[in-house]
Structure 1
Amino acid sequence: MSKSTGAPPVFVTLAEIARIAGVGRAAVSNWRRRHETFPSPVGGTDTSPQFSLSEVEEWLRRESKLKTAVNPLDRLWPEYEAVGDRDATGMLVAQVGLRLSGTEKAAGSSAGSELDQRQARLLERTLQLAAGDDARKTFHSLLDRWLRTHVRQITTTPGRLANLMVNVASLSRQEPVRTVLDPACGTGTLLSAAGRQWGDAGKPTLRILGQDSDRVLVELAKARLTVDGFTESGLSNISLAGGDTLRADAHPETAVDVVLCSPPSNERDWGHAELATDPRWVYGQPPRTESELAWVQHSVAALAPGGVAVLVLPPAVAARRAGRRIRAGLLRAGVLRAVIALPPGAAPPYGVGLHLWILRTESAGQGGAERAELTLVDTTHAIPPAAADKVGVNWSAVTAQVVDALSGMSARGSASVPVVDLLDEQVDLTPARHIPRTRAATIVDLRRFWARFDGHLSELRDTAGSLSELVPVDHDETVPFIGVDELERAGALEIRAGQGLPEALVRRGERQEDEARVLTGAPLSGQEQLWLSASDVSKGEQDGSLTVTASQDVIVSVLARAFDVRVDIDAPSVLGPQLSALRVSPAVLDPWFLAGCLRAPANVQRAGTHASTTSRIDLRRLQVPRLSLENQRRYGEIYRKITVFERELQDMKKVGAELSRSLGDLLVAGRLPRA
């Protein structure tokens, strides 16, 4: 096809030249140094120069540097990159797929109407080049090039992991699969794998549903599913939508058989406040820092009776303190069936071993019988030692281990752990913590601990950065204070002193369903696990013999030698005689602001008698600044960050100790490199 006279020039980089010539980039750099006739850069920078494609092609032919026949798509790709930004190029690639499959209108795409004249010409040239060739191969070649170009902006699920997830779902669901959903579908890798698994001829028509906040990825997913032949095999019921799934679910009334999802992680702006009363939060409202647990509960809510959800999640979701109540709820309900730890390198970020969570709802008529055990699988050693530095994954070994474990067979690195053993203070579902180890720490263990250490360090750095930006105000204004006793008289708070505990009824060990935590003194965290049944707590609260907290109560340890303050986010808690609860009126007093002020060392000195080591703090003598509710909340948020700072310091110390032990094990085993 002849070139359009008004077409803008196409530029290529050294990497593109190497691909067109079929050589390495180092060879192209050598050509530039050794050949004075090599084309001069026409743009870019000194470190990343750009060259005219037409001049480069002419020079390659003249110097006989084309070792292989040029792939027409390689020749054409620089023109795709010259189209514009990521979105424009992605829309054009999607339109190629829809046109090649002949299902542009059936797929409901609007991409074609958005192409300008230049893009439309490039589309027609691509279709002509693809004529007589494999349409699927052409589209996937363009899609792969687009994904590689924007690899830092887009995270995709590797095909081998997608196949594993489909196999896991098949093992967990025996009934036919008629509907599959991916609420964060991206470019459709998981939906395509589902179509190959459950869309064979002779089976009921598979309905494929998906949604993603990135409209370009949705168009590419539509093109992928149609190019992969699902419309030709009768799988025409494809419904993919753009939009924020958590805030605006495109399929709210549809109950599906299978959910496959690799949701976005570490999101803070996912709708925590506006979705506070959402009915999907059956197992508890996800904290703002636990967006992944919002996706978990969304997926469970989308399941039909007997449905299965398989999600890829960061390993921290299994252990983070903020999510332990939701994890406990999923365990008690019998919804969470298995947690599988994958080796590093299975999916991006490749340096972290991600987890698969398998969730299943009870089939109709089965009721809500609680499952007694959770299956845990640790595949992190399915990586050859020789390939450890290359982060390679032995997918055959991983798949075999997972299939054996989920099929009830005895498999190395797996265990069925009683749910009651998991319902402790941490509700830590990390497989490695519950599966007996038979050898010294490995390279993978070391990587895991370093990943956890780096995670705490990153969180600590972020929090410290935020706190370090706070500049103390230097002024002569006297801030007025008000005592806790005055606040009590004004009705701004109520003081509830802890009481003696019914020792015969207090149970030690792991928490069971509907039990309330018993606190006996300081420190307020890390105490022995003591519990009271819900019926005993209710009875004691009614007759006034027990002091039971409500959410956001401020708990204070009143012993001077062990003074401590904490906002109770795990209510209800039963308080012993050395503790008190301050219940605030939220219309006039912020609990976090109050806790931060009460905990100040100056307050302790003011309110303590220091007569002996058994001195008690007189709560009513403690003081707080008189501030507006708006300023209280601002200071309360600062105190929240301070508590996060303290917690991350403690957690990093624990992980650092584990890291030191692992290094010691490797050292003794002679498995560390010589200095």
Structure 2
Amino acid sequence: MYTHCSFTQTELVLPQIPASVYAAVNTIMRAGGGVSSDELTAAEIARLADVGRAAVSNWRKRHADFPQPVGGPANSPTFDREEVERWLTANGRAIPDGSTTRNTTVPRDGDVLARLLRSLLPEGCAILDPGSGTTELPHQRLGSAGAVMCIAPHEAPPAGAPVGEFGPPGRNDAALAWVQICLAYTTEGGTAVVAVPFSAAVRTSGRRIRVELLRAGVLRQVVGLPELPGGPWQIWVLTRPSARPSYQVRMVDLSDHPLAELPSSAADWDAVYADELRTRIVPSIELLDEDVLLVPSGHVVGETLDVRPQLEAARASYTDLVTRLARQAPQPAETEVASSWPLVTVVELMRTGALAISRGKAEAGDVLVRAAHGEFTPVVASETTDDTSGATVLRCQPDVLDSYFLAGFLRSEINRRQAAGTSGGTFRLDVKRARVPRMPLSEQRRYGDAFRELMAFDAAATAVAHAAQEVTWTAVQGLTNGTFAPPLQGK
């Protein structure tokens, strides 16, 4: 796509790139903002469900109700996001917290990267986007635009792409091929802004091409970004020199920057460039060592922070939590003979009206059953929440069934085993088949109180672990930045 900076008028169509990769960019370019694509590739479904691509392929073969493709070529079809999410939820395949699902505030990679790329482009120029949706590359090797933007996909470029200027990339280095394509379409003196996965900056197989980019003086800037939901990314800014190249690279470290505060305008970038704690101009020769790693955080020296108050607070919090945890340690009463209760399934409890499956929000007292990622931990909601993604929500009739009793016995070994052992190593629980003891409400509440205490203990133990990590992290920072020194011997 070849448009003016208004991102509204199409003038020239350029090469095919899988539609799923660039849908976020193209949507933003057409509308001047907005949301990312409603379609997913198989690889994106795998990331969404936290499984391997082979698992997605198996689902398509074994489950007739798996969503049908809605677009893309036969070898890389795309699927409707809503249909995929409904299928994952209906089949007990939880979507991980922090994933890129609809109705979440976590931005998708494409949203963040497209806005960053656009903010780095010169104003008042023509912009070329190689992801236009056609099937052919131009036969002539042009300098087609003063500015090129691209989110480098993982797929190799189409046949005939101009990727050889700095050498053919390795089979796992598709991003370095797209970098060369973007530069090939850049006019003399023009700018190419390319989002690449972090691996492009460090993978050994890409060292030779990184060397040639530096020696040619075309790589002018590397921006390290904070972790995005789909993984680590960088932005490379390249130019095709119109005069003698400047053999320097501006290294910008935004790896610890909040996503919501990333630069969005030329003025924002100017402020980042002026910040010595974020930016450093590095001579190319300094980067041409044995590994040629393009990692801004290794070249930008951050501010030395006095972490003494932070460590003092962390130690106090840890000590308080450990003291309280010791008092919460469970000590159930012992029995001489193991109990043998009559069991009832969840579906039988549903038939009697003792509980129901809720399709909407979870209310306080509801039991949320998630089974994924090697864990099976039903919990009782403490308040109303919309965060029920990937969970079965069980609503108890309180004068018949105690919520903590239900949640506790759903965690039993027999129910955990029922959830495990499915293909692909994932958990797939049919919660209706889970079994709990049949006992009077008064006895349920006795067990429910015990389970409530155990769950509170588990939460407190988790808080202690987090506090211990905070103490460790803060002490390490102090020792490494000179705020602290090791204790004297004998102290």
TM-score (norm 1): 0.30
Q: Which has the higher contact order (CA 8 A, sep 6+)?
A: 2
TM-score (norm 2): 0.40
Larger Rg: 1
